[in-house]
Every structure is written in structure tokens, then in C-alpha cells.
Structure 1
Amino acid sequence: MTWHVFVKEMKDSLRDRKTIMLSVLLPILFNIGLLFFMENFFLNDDIEQVKIAVDTGSDKEVVSWLKEVDELEIVISEEPLKMVENGEAVAAFSADPDFMSKMANNETPSVTIQADPVSTKGGSAQDTIMALLTTKKQEFIQQRLVEHQIDPMQIEPFQINSKSVSEGDDMSLYVISMFAQLIIVIAVLMGGLPAANDLFAGEKERNTMEALIMTPVNRLHIIIGKWLTIASLSMISGIFSVITFIAGVHLFTKHLADALNLDQNLGFFTISLVVGIIFFALLVSSLQMMISLMANNLKEAQNYISPITTLAMVPYFFLIGVSANELSTTHFIIPFVNIYALIKQLIYGIYDVSSILLVVGSSTIFIAISFLVAYMMFMKSKWVLGKG
């Protein structure tokens, strides 16, 4: 009987064009668009020039240093600060007119760099100029040491080397992990949402719930059928997101495909992610059932679910600064946190069976608890029939 309820509800849901659009087509289009955005915005190798307003009285030799940097477009101005305030340049630069002369006489000339602290481009340009001037300063220091017959190594007692713990394109992997978590989790959350609202709050609003529970079908079969319908739509949406994400990365991007490098582990990666999605979808759908049962109509259900869906994104922000190697057992036990942790771990090529088992085990416990609460609510007329 549960199977018949499930098939009926699935047919009704899939007949609705809005369900197909929200659960299947929208995630696909969203994923492809997001991949293009990541590849062309975050990982674009093209050099974007920014305008730097340079005071007319600045030493020409110092200005020539700035012209060596491809990212900087130099504009000579009598009022460089005013250009920045008017939005005509991102930073203002001025140097002493006799900068090189003071250097030759062992005096200390100065330069001034001004930028709006709120401007990302201004801050980036300011950092670029500071790095350039620091390099030039080191060159002059080395030159003076040689002139005074001092070995430059005398003032360098040790060297500092900074290296990444992983090989490959760390920035691309970071971008992939950051967006993959959002893509997949949002797809699962939104996939079954229309059906969850309609199968409980919607039926209460249409006054069809009373007729349904008056049938000889056991209420347990009814709620399981509805639950599996919501969960199946969430799974379909999540799995489609994984498929389109992997296919999109390999077909439409270069940097992301090289960084992801799934050629040898595609099977384990996909299976692990699908297993995580299935259990996450079952948990989400049981929670969505509870919320929909609390509402008396569709509008009320949407008002309840929207803030709760937003809360589901909180673990994402907690894990942004946590590396895949820092993930602990606790991250794979806590619901909602565990799916984010699993996706991040898989993206970074860490294939740990124990992590997957922890996700499955902890999710099963919380699924059982949340479904039991939803079933108890479904057994009471207060929640099933609403205020009417």
C-alpha cells in the first residue's frame, strides 16, 4: 500500500511543471551558469588594468617603476587624490620630486599611496605598488652593501620558504569546494520543497487531507508514501546537481577540471557523494514534513520553511575556514554539518570510508527521530486537519 501511495504522489508531483522546473531544470541551469562564473571570474588569467593617478611632481624614475607593472595604468594628474574621490582612478600616488637625488645623498625620500579602504581594486593596487617598492628597496640595499664592501649575506642570517602542503592548484580546489557545497546542498533542500509544502499544507488548504485520512489506508502507509515522494524529488535534484557539476567542470572549464582531477577516482567520488545525498535528502524531507504539518496553508508553510532553510546554510560558513585535513569525527556526526564536511573532503581527494559510514550512521539516527516526530504529528487531527 505504501508503494501505491508513493507512485500516486510522485505522478501528481511530476505532472506539475513547477516541480520539474524547480527540482530538475533549475539546478542544471544554475550549476552550468555558476561554473562559467567561477572559471571566468575567479580563475581568469587575463590581466585587468586599474588606473593609478600619479602626481605630476613625482620623480620620473619612480614613475617608470610603476609603468613596468602590467596591472597598472598610469595617469599623470595635478590632483591625483581628487581623481580617486571622483572615481576616475582607484589609487593616488606621489613621490618626492628629487627622490633619486636624495637616495644618492643617503637621505630618506618618501612616497605616498592613497586608496579607498572599501575599494577592493584600490586595496589590491595599493598592495601591488607596495610590493614593487619593497623589491626596489631591497635592490638599493644590496647595492649599497656592495659599495661599502659588505657581504649581503651578513644581514641575512636565514631564509624563509613558504610552501603549500598540497600539490596542484590550491585556489581552484578552494573555489570548487566552496561552490560545490552550496550547489549540492541547495539542490537537495529546494528539490523536495514544493512537494513538501503541497502534500501536507496544500492538501489542508484544499480540504483534501480529511478525505485522504478517511480512506481505509493506514496513516503510516500514507506518511511513508508522502515522505518517500519528497525525499525522491530531493535526491533527483541533488544527483542531477552532482552529474551536471562533474560534467560541467570537465566539459566547460579548464582550471577547475585540472584541479578536480577525478579521472582515477570518479567512481568512488560519485558513489560516496550520492550516498551522502540520499541520506541527507531523507533527513531534509522528514524535517520539511514536520514544518508543512505545522502550517495550515501553502503561504504559511513557505513562511515557516524559508528561515529554516536559511539556517541550514549556517554550517557552510563555519566550515569555510576549515581545511579538509582539519575535519574531525565530530564534523561527520552532526546533521547538516556532515554533508558539507563530506563534500569538502571528497573535493580535496580524501576518500575515507569511515567518514562516509559516520555520515550514514549519524544521519540514520536523526532520520529515525525526525520521522517519528512527523508520524506522531500526523496521527493527531490537530496537525493533519489544521485550524479548520
Structure 2
Amino acid sequence: MTWHVFIKELKDSIRDRKTIFLSVLLPILFNVGLLFFLENVMMNEKVEQVTVAVDSNTDPVVISWLQELKELEVELVEDPVKVVKDGDALVAFIADADFITKLEKNEIPSISVFADPTSTKGGTTQDLISNVLTIKKQEYIAQRLADNNIDPLTIEPFQINIESISEGDDMSLYMISIFAQLIIVLAVLMGGLPAANDLFAGEKERKTMEALLMTPVNRFHIIVGKWMTISALSMLSGIFSCITFIIGVNLFTERLADALQLDKNIGFFTVSLLVGIIFFALLISSIQMIISLLANNLKEAQNYISPITTLAMVPYFVLIGVSVTELNSTHFMIPFLNIYALIKQLIYGIYDVTSILLVVGSSVVFIIITFVIAYAMFMKSKWVLGKS
């Protein structure tokens, strides 16, 4: 009987064009568009020039230092700070007019670099200019030491090397990890949402729930059938999102595909991800049932689900700054957090059976808890029929 309820509700949901768009077409379009954005915009190595307003009285030698940087477009002006405040440049550069003369006399000339602290490009350009000036400064120090017959090693007691423990394109892999978590989890969250709202709050609003309960079908079979319908649509959306993501990375990108290297472990990667999607879909569907049962109509259900969706994004931001080597058992046992952690681990090529089992085990526990709550609510007319 449960199967008949499931098939009936699934057919009704699929007949709704909105469900097909949200569960199937939207994840495909979103993923393909996002991958093109990552490859052609975020990972584009084309140099974008930034305008730097330089005091026209600046020493020509100092100006030549800035012109060595292909990222900078030097513009000589009378008042560099005013130009930046007017929005015609991102960075203002002011140096002593007799900069080189002071250096030759062993005096200490000054350089000031101004930028808006709220501007990312401005801050980046400041750092770029600072790095160049530091290099020039070290060159002058080395020259002065040589002129005084002093070994430069005298003032350099040790050397510092900052290196990455990862191999390959770290930035590409990082970008894939943060966006893969987002698009796959959102696809599962949104895939079954229209059906969840309609199968409980919608039926209460249309007064069709009473007729359904008057049938000889046991309430347990009814709620399980509805739960399976919502879960199936969530799984469908998540799986389509996963498939389009994998295909899109390999067909439409170069740097992202090289960083991901799915061809080496495509089987384990896909199976593990699908396991995570399936159990996450079952859990989120139970929660959506509870929310829909609390609401008396569709509008109220939509109002309830908005803050829940926002809360579901909190683990995403928690894990953004956590490296894959920092993940521990706790991350894979907390609901919602565990699916983000699993996706991140898989993207970085770490295939740990223990992590997958922890995700499945913890998800099963919370699925049982949330479904029992939903079933208890469904057994009471107060929740299943609403204010009517």
C-alpha cells in the first residue's frame, strides 16, 4: 500500500512543471553556468590592470619601478588622493620628489601608498606595490653593504621558505570544493521542497487531506508514501546536480578538471557522493515534513522553511576555513555538517570508509528521530488537518 501511495504522489508531483524545473532543469543550468564562471572568470589568468594615481613630482626612477608591473596603469596627477576619492583610481602613490637623491646621500626618503580599506582590489594593489618596494629596498641594502665591504649574510642569519604541502593547482581545487558543497547541498534542499509544502500544507489548504484520511489506507502508509516522494525528488535533484557537476568539470573546463583528477577514482567518488546525497535527502525530507505539518497553508510553510534553509548554510561557512586534514570524526557525525565535510573530503581525493560510515550512521539516527516526530504529528488531527 505504501508503494501505491508513493507512486500516486510522485506522479502528481512530476506532473507539476514547477517541480521538474526546480528538481531537474535548474540544477543543470546552475551547475553549467557556475562552471563557466569559475573557469573563465574566477580562474582567468588574464591580467587586469589597475589604475594607480601617482604624484607628478615623483622621481622618474621610482615611477619606472611601478611601470615594471604589468598589473598597474600609472597615471600622473597633481593630487593622487583626491583622484582616488573621486573614484578615478584605486590607489594613490606619493613619494618624495628628490627620492633617489636622498637615497644617494644615505638619507631616509618616504613613500606613501593610499587605498580604500573596503576595496579588495585596492588592498591587493597596495600589497603588490609594497612587495615591489621591498625588493627594491633589499637591492639598495645589498648595494650599501657591498660598498662598505660587508657580507650581506651578516644581516641574514637564516632563510624562510613558505611552501604548500599540496601538489598541483591548490586554488582550483579549493574553488571546486567550496562550490561543490554549495550546489549539491542546495540542490537536495530545494529539490523536494515544493512537494513537501504541497503534500501537507497544500493539502490542508485545499481541504483534500480530510478526504485522504477517510480512505481505508493506514496513516503510516500515507506518511511513508509522502516521505518517499519528497525524498525521491530531493535525491533526483541532488543526483542531477552531482552528475552535471562531474560532467561539466570534465567537458567544459581544463584547469578545474586537471585539479579534480576524477578519472583516477571516479567510481569510489561517485558512489560515496551518492550515498551521502541519499541519506541527506532522507533526513531533510523528514524535517521538511515536520515544517509542512506545522503550517496551515502554503504561504505559511514557505515562511517557516526560509529560516531553516538559512540555518542549513551555517555549516557551510563553518567549514570554509577548515582544511581537509583538520576534519575529524565529529565533523562526520553532526547532521548537515557531515554532508559538507564528506563532499569536501571527496573533492580533495581522500576516500575514507570510516567517514562514510559515520555519515550514514549519524544520518540514520537523526532520520529515525525526525520521522518519528513527523509521524506523531501526522497521527494528530491538530497538525494533519490544521485550523479547519
Aligning the two structures, in what range does the TM-score lie when normalised by the shorter sequence?
Answer: over 0.9
Equivalent residue runs for 1:126-145 within 5 Å: 126-145=126-145
Q: For 2:110 and 2:335, locate their aligned partners in 1 and report how far apart those are by CA, in whole Å.
A: 57
Residue 166 (structure 1) shift: 1.1
Secondary structure in structure 1 of the residue aligned to 2:106: coil
Match of 2:316 in 1: 316
Match of 2:196 in 1: 196
Q: Tell me the alpha carbon deviations over residues 317-376 of structure 1, each in whole angstroms, 9 at most, x when there is no partner.
A: 111111111001001001001000000000111100000000000100110111011011
Q: For 1:7 and 1:245, locate their aligned partners in 2 and report how far apart those are by CA, in whole Å.
A: 29
Match of 2:306 in 1: 306
Match of 1:223 in 2: 223
> What amino acid is the match of 1:367?
I
Q: For 2:125 and 2:362, locate their aligned partners in 1 and report how far apart those are by CA, in whole Å.
A: 48
Confirm whether residue 161 of structure 1 aligns to residue 161 of structure 2. Answer: yes
Confirm whether residue 382 of structure 1 aligns to residue 387 of structure 2. Answer: no
Match of 2:151 in 1: 151
> What amino acid is the match of 1:107?
E
Match of 2:352 in 1: 352
Q: For 1:16 and 1:125, locate their aligned partners in 2 and report how far apart those are by CA, in whole Å.
A: 51
Secondary structure in structure 2 of the residue aligned to 1:363: helix
Match of 2:366 in 1: 366
Confirm whether residue 240 of structure 1 aligns to residue 231 of structure 2. Answer: no
Q: For 2:105 and 2:254, locate their aligned partners in 1 and report how far apart those are by CA, in whole Å.
A: 53
Match of 1:278 in 2: 278
Match of 2:63 in 1: 63
| Most deviating of 145-154 and 287-296 | 145-154
Residue 41 (structure 1) shift: 2.3
Q: For 2:59 and 2:211, locate their aligned partners in 1 and report how far apart those are by CA, in whole Å.
A: 87
Q: For 2:90 and 2:79, locate their aligned partners in 1 and report how far apart those are by CA, in whole Å.
A: 13
Match of 1:40 in 2: 40
Q: For 2:282 and 2:94, locate their aligned partners in 1 and report how far apart those are by CA, in whole Å.
A: 62
Q: For 1:92 and 1:309, locate their aligned partners in 2 and report how far apart those are by CA, in whole Å.
A: 43
> What amino acid is the match of 2:180?
A
> What amino acid is the match of 2:173?
L
Residue 149 (structure 1) shift: 1.0
Q: Tell me the alpha carbon deviations over residues 77-123 of structure 1, each in whole angstroms, 9 at most, x when there is no partner.
A: 11111111111100111111111111111111111111111111111
Q: For 2:264 and 2:39, locate their aligned partners in 1 and report how far apart those are by CA, in whole Å.
A: 23
Q: Tell me the alpha carbon deviations over residues 230-272 of structure 1, each in whole angstroms, 9 at most, x when there is no partner.
A: 0000000000000001111111111111111111101100100
| Most deviating of 190-199 and 87-96 | 87-96
Q: For 1:76 and 1:320, locate their aligned partners in 2 and report how far apart those are by CA, in whole Å.
A: 41
Percent identity over the alignment is: 72
Q: For 1:304 and 1:192, locate their aligned partners in 2 and report how far apart those are by CA, in whole Å.
A: 15
Secondary structure in structure 2 of the residue aligned to 1:4: helix
Q: Tell me the alpha carbon deviations over residues 129-165 of structure 1, each in whole angstroms, 9 at most, x when there is no partner.
A: 1010000000111111111111111211111111111
Match of 1:53 in 2: 53
> What amino acid is the match of 1:378?
F
Regions of 4+ moved over 3 Å: none
Q: For 2:93 and 2:276, locate their aligned partners in 1 and report how far apart those are by CA, in whole Å.
A: 54
| Most deviating of 249-258 and 327-336 | 249-258
Q: For 1:123 and 1:370, locate their aligned partners in 2 and report how far apart those are by CA, in whole Å.
A: 48
Confirm whether residue 21 of structure 1 aligns to residue 21 of structure 2. Answer: yes
Question: What is the TM-score of this pair, normalised by structure 1?
Answer: 0.99
Secondary structure in structure 1 of the residue aligned to 2:262: coil
Q: For 2:294 and 2:329, locate their aligned partners in 1 and report how far apart those are by CA, in whole Å.
A: 34
Q: For 2:25 and 2:161, locate their aligned partners in 1 and report how far apart those are by CA, in whole Å.
A: 48
| Most deviating of 59-68 and 254-263 | 254-263
Q: Tell me the alpha carbon deviations over residues 162-191 of structure 1, each in whole angstroms, 9 at most, x when there is no partner.
A: 111111111111111111100000000000
Confirm whether residue 90 of structure 1 aligns to residue 106 of structure 2. Answer: no
Q: Tell me the alpha carbon deviations over residues 15-56 of structure 1, each in whole angstroms, 9 at most, x when there is no partner.
A: 000000011101111111111111222211000001001111
Residue 382 (structure 1) shift: 0.6
Confirm whether residue 294 of structure 1 aligns to residue 294 of structure 2. Answer: yes
Secondary structure in structure 1 of the residue aligned to 2:264: coil
How many residues matched?
Answer: 388
> What amino acid is the match of 1:122?
G
Q: For 1:300 and 1:86, locate their aligned partners in 2 and report how far apart those are by CA, in whole Å.
A: 48
> What amino acid is the match of 1:176?
I
Give the aligned CA root-mean-square deviation in angstroms: 0.7
Match of 1:214 in 2: 214
Question: What is the TM-score of this pair, normalised by structure 2?
Answer: 0.99
> What amino acid is the match of 2:41?
F
Structure 2: tracts of 5 or more residues without a match: none
Q: For 2:81 and 2:369, locate their aligned partners in 1 and report how far apart those are by CA, in whole Å.
A: 63
Q: For 2:327 and 2:81, locate their aligned partners in 1 and report how far apart those are by CA, in whole Å.
A: 47
Match of 1:340 in 2: 340
Match of 1:331 in 2: 331
Secondary structure in structure 1 of the residue aligned to 2:216: coil
Q: For 2:309 and 2:109, locate their aligned partners in 1 and report how far apart those are by CA, in whole Å.
A: 58
Q: For 2:250 and 2:141, locate their aligned partners in 1 and report how far apart those are by CA, in whole Å.
A: 49
> What amino acid is the match of 1:114?
F
Q: For 1:227 and 1:48, locate their aligned partners in 2 and report how far apart those are by CA, in whole Å.
A: 51
> What amino acid is the match of 1:134?
T
> What amino acid is the match of 1:141?
I
Equivalent residue runs for 1:67-86 within 5 Å: 67-86=67-86
